[in-house]
């Protein structure tokens, strides 16, 4: 009976690195599983849904037996989290695995054969591009809020990552808003349209990353983890054309304005619920009206350069744009009643499309 020991925290780290890739609902059960392989003093955890694949490796205890098997990714992760801290002993007996700790707590799960997992290659087809610690996860996570949630619109349910004129740039849009985040970058990065599921996993990666094309698409590799996925072949929208700034420039405390927008959102609870942004000579007045006639108003002092503007927009979308920045002060740019509002801070530009002001 193959047996190995591993620290609970170490096992959790490995399982959390790959479990998000496993399919939540799959016709083929093995695609909902994590494969574990113990060999050479290391445990390798692997999962794939055939579009995205992730693999990571961590050390196991001295004297651990070599073995290879799979188990349901969600069940294994949930139960491991409930175990006591310290070393865990894992025994594999036929189609069952048992996980026990130093105390009485233990659990068993049914296993699947490792040979049932599809073979996914992370082999590079070109030289890797090196990107420093945290840059790509910060970029893609910082615009992911603006992706479309409609999986049928594959080119919008994604983040567009590319380099241009000395910058690495991430773009996301759902057609109602567009978020762009950029950072200085001396290298060259081929444009890639990264699917939403891969964006969520990429945002978790830590350390310096090596990025390289594979036979299946693209891969990101850190010291211990590799994430590979198929790229979306659709052409991306000409996003530059919507990143406009109106003639009215407003400088405002970001946290204060965000708080006011969220408060007004109570009277605009739906995703498309409207907040009216009334830009005055030295302030921004916000107001919202609910379907049952309830209202909410707030006013935030601001430095305004330009003529007064009154524009309606989604309370949620404006709040998302403000929350995406960590700056103390942001710049807003507005034009007319039917023009978008831009929210800008260092490295970030978000455009939110207007709504016709409701009576």
Residue 248 backbone dihedrals phi, psi, to 5 degrees: -90, 120
Residue 77 three-state SS: helix
Nearest Cα to Cα of residue 333 among 354, 357, 347: 354
CATH 3.10.150.10 assigned to 129-239: yes
Superfamily of domain 244-352: DNA Polymerase III, subunit A, domain 2 (3.10.150.10)
Q: Is the pLDDT of residue 289 over 90?
A: no
Q: Is the pLDDT of residue 42 over 80?
A: yes
Sheet holding 167-173, edge to edge: 192-195, 158-164, 167-173, 177-184, 348-352, 341-345, 329-334, 248-253, 303-305
* Greatest extent of the chain over all pairs of C-alpha atoms, in Å: 78
Lowest-pLDDT range of 94-98, 105-109, 151-155, 173-177: 151-155
Q: How far is CA 310 from CA 79, 265, 349, 359, in A?
A: 53, 17, 21, 13
Given this model, what pLDDT does residue 271 score? 54
Confidence of residue 38 (pLDDT cuts 50, 70, 90): very high
What is the bridge-based pairing of β-strands 192-195 and 158-164?
A: antiparallel
For residues 291 and 318, the model is more confident at 318
Given this model, what pLDDT does residue 161 score? 95
Given this model, what pLDDT does residue 280 score? 95
Q: Do domains 3-116 and 129-239 have the same CATH topology?
A: yes
Given this model, what pLDDT does residue 103 score? 83
Instruction: Give the CATH architecture of domain 3-116.
Output: Roll (3.10)
Q: Is the pLDDT of residue 26 over 80?
A: no
For the CA atoms of 58, 74, 18, 326, what is the dihedral angle to 10 degrees? -110
54-113 residue pLDDT tens: 999 999 988 889 999 999 999 999 999 999 999 999 999 999 999 999 888 999 999 999
Q: Is the pLDDT of residue 270 over 70?
A: no
Given this model, what pLDDT does residue 119 score? 85
Contacts within 8 Å (CB) and 24+ apart, 75-83: 75/109, 76/15, 76/19, 76/34, 76/109, 77/12, 77/15, 77/16, 77/19, 77/34, 79/107, 79/109, 80/8, 80/11, 80/12, 80/15, 81/12, 82/107, 83/8, 83/107
Q: Which residues contact 292 (CB under 8 A, 6 or more apart)?
A: none
| CA angle in degrees (0–180, nearest 5) for 304-309-311 | 125
Give the pTM: 0.89
352 with 316: CB under 8 angstroms?
A: no
Confidence of residue 236 (pLDDT cuts 50, 70, 90): confident
DSSP states along 170-224: EEEE-SSEEEEEEEE--S----EEEEHHHHHHHTT--S-EEEEEBSSSEEEE-SS
Confidence of residue 359 (pLDDT cuts 50, 70, 90): low
199-224 residue pLDDT tens: 999 999 989 999 999 988 999 999 99
| Residue 78: alpha-carbon gap to chain centroid | 21
257 with 333: CB under 8 angstroms?
A: no
Distance CA 8, CA 51 (A): 29
180-198 residue pLDDT tens: 999 999 888 888 999 999 9
Sorted by where each begins, the domain ranges of the chain are: 3-116, 129-239, 244-352
The token duo for 221 is 């590799």
């Amino acid at each position: 009976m193959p047996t190995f020991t591993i620290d609970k925290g170490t096992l959790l780290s490995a399982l959390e690195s790959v479990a998000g890739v496993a399919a939540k609902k799959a016709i083929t059960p093995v695609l909902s599983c994590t494969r574990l392989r113990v060999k050479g003093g290391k445990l390798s955890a692997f999962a794939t849904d055939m579009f995205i694949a992730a693999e990571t490796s961590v050390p196991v205890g001295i004297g651990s037996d070599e073995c290879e098997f799979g188990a349901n990714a969600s069940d294994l992760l949930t139960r491991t989290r409930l175990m006591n801290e310290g070393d865990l002993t894992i025994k594999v007996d036929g189609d069952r695995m048992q996980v026990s700790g130093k105390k009485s707590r233990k659990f068993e799960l049914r296993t699947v054969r490792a040979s049932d997992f599809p073979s996914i290659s992370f082999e590079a087809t070109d030289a890797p591009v090196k990107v420093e610690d945290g840059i790509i996860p910060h970029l893609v996570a910082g615009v992911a809020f603006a992706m479309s949630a409609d999986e049928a619109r594959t080119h919008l349910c994604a983040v567009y990552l590319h380099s241009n004129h000395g910058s690495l740039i991430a773009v996301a849009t759902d057609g109602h808003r567009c978020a762009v985040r950029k950072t200085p970058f001396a290298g060259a990065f081929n444009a890639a349209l990264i699917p939403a599921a891969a964006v969520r996993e990429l945002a978790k990666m830590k350390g310096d990353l090596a990025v390289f094309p594979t036979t299946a698409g693209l891969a990101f590799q850190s010291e211990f983890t590799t994430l590979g996925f198929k790229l979306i072949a659709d052409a991306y929208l000409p996003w530059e054309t919507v990143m406009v700034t109106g003639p009215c420039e407003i400088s405002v405390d970001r946290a204060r304005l965000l708080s006011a927008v969220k408060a007004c959102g109570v009277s605009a609870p739906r995703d498309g619920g409207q907040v009216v942004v009334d830009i005055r000579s030295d302030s921004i007045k916000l107001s919202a009206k609910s379907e049952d006639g309830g209202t909410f108003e707030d006013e935030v002092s601001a430095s305004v350069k330009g003529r007064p503007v009154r524009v309606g927009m989604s309370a949620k979308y404006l709040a998302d744009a403000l929350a995406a920045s960590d700056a103390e002060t942001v710049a807003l740019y507005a034009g007319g009643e039917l023009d978008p509002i831009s929210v800008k801070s260092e490295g970030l530009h978000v455009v939110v499309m207007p709504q016709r002001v409701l009576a």
